[in-house]
Amino acid sequence: MFLMEFSITPMDQGQSVSSFVARCVEIVDRSGLDYRLHSMGTVVEGELEPLLQLLQQSFEALQNDSDRISCSVKFDYRRAASGRLTAKVESVEKKVGRQLRK
């Protein structure tokens, strides 16, 4: 199972791009995959092919309105492990001995 963290942004649409980010988050939400949105991107858990499809669909959602798009992507693979979207945070919280801000 993979964790994919990504951030995709149109570079030619001004300072506030939240409406464009919202398009991509809607794609992620409709996918049915488990995800967490944070202030600098989105983390999604799933198999590789569906995750790559999310990236492609996100690009397609922005291409009509933008001539330049920036995307940062990070993958974390662990064989036969799922639920890591929350388990990784819970593991750190256990070691710290308390719940942390999310």
Residue 60: predicted pLDDT: 97
Q: Is the pLDDT of residue 2 over 80?
A: yes
Q: Is the pLDDT of residue 99 over 80?
A: yes
What residues contact residue 90 under an 8 Å CB cut-off, 6+ apart? none
- pTM metric for this prediction: 0.88
Residue 82: predicted pLDDT: 87
Which of 54, 86, 60, 89 lies closest to 73 in space, CA to CA?
54
Residue 37: predicted pLDDT: 95
Euclidean distance between CA atoms 88 and 102, whole angstroms:
13
User: Domains in the chain and their CATH numbers?
Assistant: 2-96 (3.30.70.930)
Residue 9: predicted pLDDT: 94
Euclidean distance between CA atoms 30 and 90, whole angstroms:
26
Q: Where are the alpha helices (DSSP H) in the chain?
A: 18-31, 48-63, 84-96
Which of 54, 61, 63, 1 lies closest to 28 in space, CA to CA?
54
